């Protein structure tokens, strides 16, 4: 995925930039980068953060950095921010994007505009540089950003650090949020609003889809009004957004409590304890426990002193091992109990299967699972979402393949709650995970828990709809 933070200030901004960017560390595991502008001069540092925390990698760099404007980024993919020398002037650029038509735009750059690319990422072009080449095709930053937004399929939110301030632009359909924060003498632009809390910023405005602003220490200038249509990613609230953050006025933790409460209202299972798979299942479990009045417990704790972040080795077997090592069961809370776990979602289910087996090994009588969202049937094609490399790895798709013995199928039937095929798929997943019962959240309940109209939310990974307007809430 990735996340970014930018700040313009009447004073030196490096401390705010450093911590503000660090508060996006849960969104990416590969690269971190900071760029600051001091007068006309830019300084930039990029580090591999796959084996170390962002702060530990940058704490020496920031002693040598100074400036009144800066942008920082945590990335799951390419190295950034990039410093671009162009006819528009020198600028730094950071993006949170997935350019689905990257090949087509690259060909276009070679053959129509005779561009070249100097940055490489994983053997290919650096997508952030591709965005910069599109911006450079126009005569001003605002026109260039509009132009890039029109051409890019997938999603792209970005920050540009220029001599005039920071251009902050939200993706055309608002798949990812960009929020402007303010404090005396400074403005910041951030994906996560939790980055504002300890740095003294308050939320000034949520950029709308496709909106472009220029922030300077003296104020904010709107360069492009928002588009009408929004498709913000629902998964922000369900899984990867930080609990202390708020998007479109809806706090993540509160939305998770409502998700858990909806799961509880739809349930009648007899259990002794409600728990969450740490960390993102915790909020959902608290919501379930509060609604059902069944005690909440922590039969698992996470060992954080030496596994402090979402350390993501490239090798899947190693990732599974790390996930297992982090989670510590408390046998005294597990033995002889009927446990219900809330989980944000079931992606591949491989780690979950081991976790469930571990619970039975520790003496659990029953293990029930309640994911806070419906089965993931379609892979995300709008964000660089690293939880599953291929949609064919999804637990739902594996179950469908087994049920259909590999034959081509209409996925919509499996994505429809209560259909025979849906029930068969869920039962197949339950069997594979070794669960006593498995019951997923209904899409309409999840949408209601988030609290935004369905047509403003992207729900593609559950229903395959790209902007469907059906009245889901009536089906709740
Ligand atoms: S497909 Fe899923 S993960 Fe991707 S933007 Fe939509 S809701 Fe988010």
Element at 133 (helix H, strand E): helix 127-135
Element at 179 (helix H, strand E): strand 179-183
Name the closest-CA residue to atom 2, ligand 1: 461
Element at 248 (helix H, strand E): none
**How many Å from the N-terminal Cα to the C-terminal Cα in the chain?**
31
Name the closest-CA residue to atom 3, ligand 1: 380
Q: Give the model's confidence band at 380: pLDDT under 50 very low, under 70 low, under 90 confident, else very high.
A: very high
Say whether pLDDT at 278 is over 60: yes
pLDDT given for residue 386 in this prediction: 62
- Domain architecture of the chain: domains with CATH: 3-230 (3.60.20.10), 247-475 (3.40.50.2020)
251 alpha-carbon distance from chain centroid? 15
pLDDT given for residue 476 in this prediction: 35
- Of 156, 157, 153, nearest in space to 166 by CA: 157
CA distance 186 to 165: 11
pLDDT given for residue 29 in this prediction: 86
CB 82 within 8 A of CB 149: no
Q: What is the pTM of this model?
A: 0.94
Tokens of 409: 């199928």
Q: What is the pLDDT of residues 20-41, one digit of tens each?
A: 999 999 999 899 999 999 988 9
Distance, CA 210 to ligand 1 centroid (Å)? 18
- For ligand 1, whether the C-beta of 233 sits within 6 Å is yes
CA distance 273 to 280: 18
When pLDDT is averaged across residues 416-429 and rounded to a whole number, the result is 96
At residue 18, what are phi and psi to the nearest 5 degrees? Answer: -60, -50
- For ligand 1, whether the C-beta of 440 sits within 6 Å is no
Pocket test residue of 1, 380, 386, 459 for ligand 1, highest count of atoms within 8 A of CB: 380
pLDDT given for residue 124 in this prediction: 85
- For ligand 1, whether the C-beta of 237 sits within 6 Å is no
- For ligand 1, whether the C-beta of 438 sits within 6 Å is no
CA distance 339 to 360: 10
Pocket test residue of 458, 459, 462 for ligand 1, highest count of atoms within 8 A of CB: 458
Stretch among 163-172, 229-238, 304-313, 378-387 having the lowest mean pLDDT: 304-313
Mean pLDDT across the chain, nearest whole number? 92
Name the closest-CA residue to atom 4, ligand 1: 380
CA distance 301 to 324: 11
Say whether pLDDT at 468 is over 70: no
Q: What is the pLDDT of residues 304-334, one digit of tens each?
A: 777 655 555 666 777 777 778 888 999 999 9
Tokens of 295: 């005690």
Say whether pLDDT at 411 is over 60: yes
Stretch among 359-363, 455-459, 472-476 having the lowest mean pLDDT: 472-476
Tokens of 48: 């591999």
- For ligand 1, whether the C-beta of 234 sits within 6 Å is yes
Q: What percent of the chain has pLDDT over 70?
A: 95
Name the closest-CA residue to atom 6, ligand 1: 458
What three-state secondary structure class fits 405? coil
User: Checking DSSP bridges between strand 154-162 and strand 165-169, what pairing results, if any?
Assistant: antiparallel
- For ligand 1, whether the C-beta of 450 sits within 6 Å is no
């Amino acid at each position: 995925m990735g996340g970014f933070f930018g700040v313009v200030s009447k004073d030196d901004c490096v401390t705010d930039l450093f911590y503000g960017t660090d508060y996006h560390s849960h969104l990416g595991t590969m690269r971190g980068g900071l760029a600051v502008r001091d007068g006309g001069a830019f300084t930039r540092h990029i580090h591999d953060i796959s084996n170390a925390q962002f702060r530990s990698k940058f704490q020496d760099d920031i002693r040598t950095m100074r400036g009144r404007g800066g942008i920082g980024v945590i990335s799951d993919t390419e190295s950034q921010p990039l410093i671009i020398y162009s006819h528009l002037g020198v600028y730094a650029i950071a993006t949170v994007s997935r350019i689905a038509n990257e090949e087509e735009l690259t060909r276009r750059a070679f053959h129509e505009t005779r561009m070249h690319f100097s940055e490489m990422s994983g053997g290919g072009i650096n997508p952030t540089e591709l965005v910069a080449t599109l911006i450079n095709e126009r005569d001003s930053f605002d026109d260039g950003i509009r132009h890039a937004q029109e051409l890019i399929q997938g999603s792209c939110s970005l920050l540009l650090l220029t001599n005039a301030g920071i251009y902050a632009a939200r993706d055309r359909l608002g798949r990812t949020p960009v929020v402007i924060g303010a404090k005396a003498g400074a403005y910041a632009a951030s994906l996560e609003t939790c980055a504002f809390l300890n740095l003294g910023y308050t939320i000034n405005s949520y950029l709308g889809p496709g909106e472009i602003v220029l922030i300077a220490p003296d104020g904010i200038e709107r360069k492009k009004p928002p588009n009408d249509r929004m498709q913000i990613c629902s998964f922000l609230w369900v899984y990867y957004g930080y609990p202390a953050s708020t998007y479109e006025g809806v706090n993540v933790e509160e939305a998770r409590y409502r998700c858990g409460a909806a799961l509880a209202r739809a349930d009648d299972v007899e259990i002794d304890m409600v728990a969450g798979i740490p960390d993102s299942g915790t909020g959902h479990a608290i919501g379930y426990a509060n609604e059902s009045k069944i005690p909440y417990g922590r039969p698992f704790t996470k060992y954080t002193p030496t596994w402090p972040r979402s350390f993501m080795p490239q090798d899947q077997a190693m990732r599974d091992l790390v996930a297992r090592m982090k989670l510590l069961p408390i046998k005294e809370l597990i033995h002889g109990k009927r446990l219900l776990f809330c989980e944000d979602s079931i992606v591949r289910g491989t780690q979950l299967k081991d976790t469930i087996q571990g619970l039975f090994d520790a003496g659990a009588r029953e293990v029930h699972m309640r994911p806070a969202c419906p089965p993931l049937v379609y892979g995300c094609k709008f964000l660089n979402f690293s939880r599953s490399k291929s949609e064919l790895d999804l637990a739902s798709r594996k179950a469908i393949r087994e049920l259909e013995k590999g034959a081509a199928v209409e996925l919509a039937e499996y994505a429809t709650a209560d259909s025979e095929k849906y029930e068969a798929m869920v039962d197949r997943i339950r069997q594979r995970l070794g669960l006593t019962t498995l019951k997923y959240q209904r899409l309409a309940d999840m949408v209601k828990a988030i609290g935004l109209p369905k047509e403003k939310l992207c729900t593609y990974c559950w229903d395959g709809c790209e902007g469907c307007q059906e009245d889901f809430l009536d089906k709740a």
